[in-house]
Chains A and B, each alone.
Chain A
């Protein structure tokens, strides 16, 4: 595995370098800048220029980029234009919230996706299959913001049994923190779980038609063992790839989910940073998100190799 990772390292570094250029320059092409956003609605041109000077925005862009990269290599992520706080501190203070939400949602997504997928992919009666397909379709068709609003209305306002606004850290109060996580994590996970369920179910139905399954049946292998050892194991690869891909969507979904449930995570930090043109925060978040996507992709490949001995890490097709 180490060899696999070492072989991937140059490509990863090139991707991250390319992303850093994009992350630095693209936000600066948008109209407005931090000084205009900070100056307020009735500011004069003199106000804006004074703030621009104060923030160092008059320095040529290539020099700003080099300074930023130099800082990154030294572990200094920069200073937020909006709050004048270190970017690392801002991200650090929001990271726990997003990690808690993303991990909870991932857990629900994986469990629910695989359970629903296995139920739908197994041999069922017609009505049971119709019910499972309907549930899956509704989950698939309902975006997180709609699920979130419905959950808030139902379980937060009509029957107020769960908190629907704000958050409490799991580290500070695990029980209360868990209650705050249930609804946003569920809203975020449901559509992604439906995708995984559908892929697993389809894959199981395909595998069941393979000759080796007929052979196992002919040998008298019990149906339970056929389902778990032969059908399921050979179908999960698709699910694992889907999980790796859905994690990116899930992270993107946290932006809306955090807004609806008033959680102060990285998604909200990204939104407010874009609105206030806080380049120093935006560029770190973009590079960080790409880094996470790369890690998720690597983990997917490692998991696939563990599931299927025929797949060797880093092997290339000839």
Chain B
């Protein structure tokens, strides 16, 4: 049966690029173009976004900025998925002082904003100052707040001096798009979203669609390959799935695990698992029965992490007892499986603590996945003799309690953190479950000292030592228990090729093209 409609423009076969890897080498861009492959130019990619774009929070990593930040903007450096090494982007070179408290950056001299104005060191200084502003809600503000000097030493060089070692400076660069300082105010209402990236922000209808078009003057020659990208907003995962299946959209990075696995199983789609999402179980150490360390450790043995991984997270990721990414210096595989599922041992420990039969409400965000995780934990806790129940909070309610301090989330809670692929030094300051004022109300001199040790580490050996000691402390005190590090499944139409992703799983479409 023929369609009555066809909205998806066919890509034009205007040119064939070959030997793109050689091109990258020849231009010295440091951009991994892959091997020789045929690419079709033209066409439009439609992205199914769950949630409206928020240009005013460009400097904040969130689902509503991740789908387009690396399309409209460039960063100084970029860490791609599967790597820990920063790749040159707008910064071509960098040197650190011996104490790791000063960095000198060399910038590209051939980059222009979409407005036509050249990108210079002054723009870098301006944007790094913006990172310090709490109103911009950058998760790496704590790194920028330690900067004592940010200066443009020439139009193409920047010098940053910090009071603390800059061990995680590349996390900041990764999360800080270089916006145009002259049109910065236009980000507030999205009227001017000007970057140096491969696509130009052409038009935005809030809640409906953002239209991006090819940047003809992009600094990477002959890129991007497609003419346009539409970011269409969908209310939920089901509607986005329909858009993919009906060929309206070619990419979605935010499907629910159930929808993602169903679509990824189809031969019409490819999938890519990226970006760490950490699910964790926390306990308030000031509330009974969790003021007893033995009880908290017993919970560790009671939670069936493998079951959660398989049933709630579609087996995409890994069960873990540690917050850190596996490539982190000091990460220990044995510690990551410290709390093996052992309900008999858990029950014995709870009996020893005299808390069998205690009532344990488990609070969680009203997201399908976190509720599913919480329900399995509830079942686990009932197996070992606790009377558990699940309390769901709307996201705004949850955030008002854990972020703004308007109430608490009770004695036990299941939470979630994105950007679990950043360094331990960044996580320990960024994640609200770990920083001062955390919902577990946990803090100790030893914990504080180890955090300082991690933040001031200047070598991988020092980082490894701090991470190892922190792991031991967190496993022993057990106030916060990672459950699983899940991956988020990005789904693409089989027609869409050349997609790349950052370490946090954000899409990069500079080399993306539509086949057939």
Contact = CB atoms under 8 A, between A and B. Distances in A.
Shortest 4 CB-CB contacts between residues of A and residues of B = A32-B396, A264-B208, A259-B235, A31-B397
A176 interface: yes
A262 B189 contact: no
A65 B15 CA distance: 59
A51 B137 CA distance: 8
Given A84-B189, A272-B52, A45 B397 contact: no
Contacts of B56: 38, 84
B239 to A, nearest CB: 5
26 contacts: A31-B393, A32-B399, A38-B137, A39-B403, A42-B430, A44-B403, A45-B403, A45-B405, A47-B134, A47-B137, A48-B403, A49-B134, A51-B135, A82-B52, A85-B190, A93-B205, A156-B246, A162-B5, A165-B243, A258-B235, A259-B235, A259-B236, A259-B239, A264-B208, A269-B207, A272-B51
A264 B396 contact: no
B62 A50 contact: no
Interface of B: 1-5, 7, 51-52, 54, 56-57, 60-62, 133-135, 137, 139, 141, 188-190, 205-209, 232-236, 238-240, 242-243, 245-246, 248-249, 393-397, 399-401, 403-407, 416-419, 430-432, 435, 437
A232 interface: no
Interface in A212-265: 258-262, 264
A149 B411 CA distance: 40
Contacts of B238: 149, 260
Interface string A262-281: 10100011011001110000
B5 A179 contact: yes
B246 A165 contact: yes
A94 interface: yes
Contacts of A168: 7
Contact of A90 (B207, B234, B245, B405): B207
Interface in A12-70: 30-33, 36-51, 53-54
A166 to B, nearest CB: 6
Nearest to B239: A262
Given A90-B207, A152-B246, A269-B207, 19 more contacts: A31-B393, A40-B137, A41-B62, A42-B403, A42-B431, A44-B435, A47-B135, A49-B134, A50-B135, A82-B206, A156-B242, A157-B242, A163-B5, A164-B246, A179-B4, A261-B239, A264-B208, A264-B233, A275-B395
A33 B399 CA distance: 10
Contacts of A264: 205, 207-209, 233
Interface-central residue, B246, B395, B406, by most chain A CB under 10 Å: B246
Given A36-B399, A40-B60, A45-B437, A165 B242 contact: yes
Given A41-B418, A164-B246, A262 B134 contact: no
Given A83-B52, A157-B245, A46 B4 contact: no
A227 B133 CA distance: 75
Given A38-B57, A42-B431, A82-B52, A161 B206 contact: no
B134 A44 contact: yes
Contacts of B248: 163, 165-166, 262
A127 interface: no
Interface centre among B206, B209, B238, B417 (most CB of A within 10 A): B206
Given A40-B62, A90-B206, A262-B242, A160 B403 contact: no
Contacts of B137: 38-40, 43, 47, 51
Given A44-B403, A262-B234, A161 B4 contact: yes
Contacts of B4: 161-162, 179
B239 A32 contact: no
Contacts, number: 177
A166 B400 contact: no
Contacts of A277: 396
Which of B4, B207, B397, B437 has the most chain A CB atoms closer than 10 A to its own CB?
Answer: B207
Interface in A104-156: 149, 152, 156
Q: Which of A38, A90, A162 counts the most B-chain CB atoms under 10 A from its CB?
A: A38
B404 A36 contact: yes
A128 B277 CA distance: 58
A37 B134 contact: no
A93 B207 CA distance: 10
A43 B134 CA distance: 9
User: Which bucket holds chain A's interface residue count?
Assistant: 35 or more
A163 B406 contact: no
Nearest to B418: A41
B482 to A, nearest CB: 16
B427 to A, nearest CB: 10
A269 B206 CA distance: 9
B418 A85 contact: no
A164 B400 contact: no
Contact of A160 (B233, B243, B246): B246
Nearest to A268: B235
A84 B242 contact: no
Contacts of A276: 396
Given A54-B135, A262-B242, A272 B207 contact: yes
A85 B404 contact: no
A43 B209 CA distance: 27
A90 B208 CA distance: 10
A161 B4 CA distance: 6
B206 A32 contact: no
Contacts of A94: 207-208
A176 B5 contact: yes
B7 A163 contact: yes
B406 A83 contact: no
B134 A50 contact: yes
A85 B2 CA distance: 41
A268 B397 contact: no
A161 B1 contact: yes
A86 B235 CA distance: 22
A156 B56 CA distance: 36
A111 B419 CA distance: 53
Contact of B1 (A37, A44, A82, A159): A159
Contacts of A161: 1-4
A31 B400 contact: yes
Contact of B403 (A43, A50, A156, A271): A43
Contact of B404 (A45, A83, A179, A262): A45
B421 to A, nearest CB: 14
B430 to A, nearest CB: 5
B204 to A, nearest CB: 9
Contacts of A163: 5, 7, 246, 248
B48 to A, nearest CB: 8
B188 to A, nearest CB: 5
Contacts of A80: 206
A176 B135 CA distance: 43
Contact of A32 (B57, B60, B134, B400): B400
Contacts of A261: 239, 242
Contact of A262 (B7, B205, B243, B405): B243
A148 B240 CA distance: 15
Contacts of A272: 51-52, 207, 235
Contacts of B242: 152, 156-157, 164-165, 260-262
B405 A260 contact: no
Given A37-B396, A159-B1, A166-B7, A84 B188 contact: yes
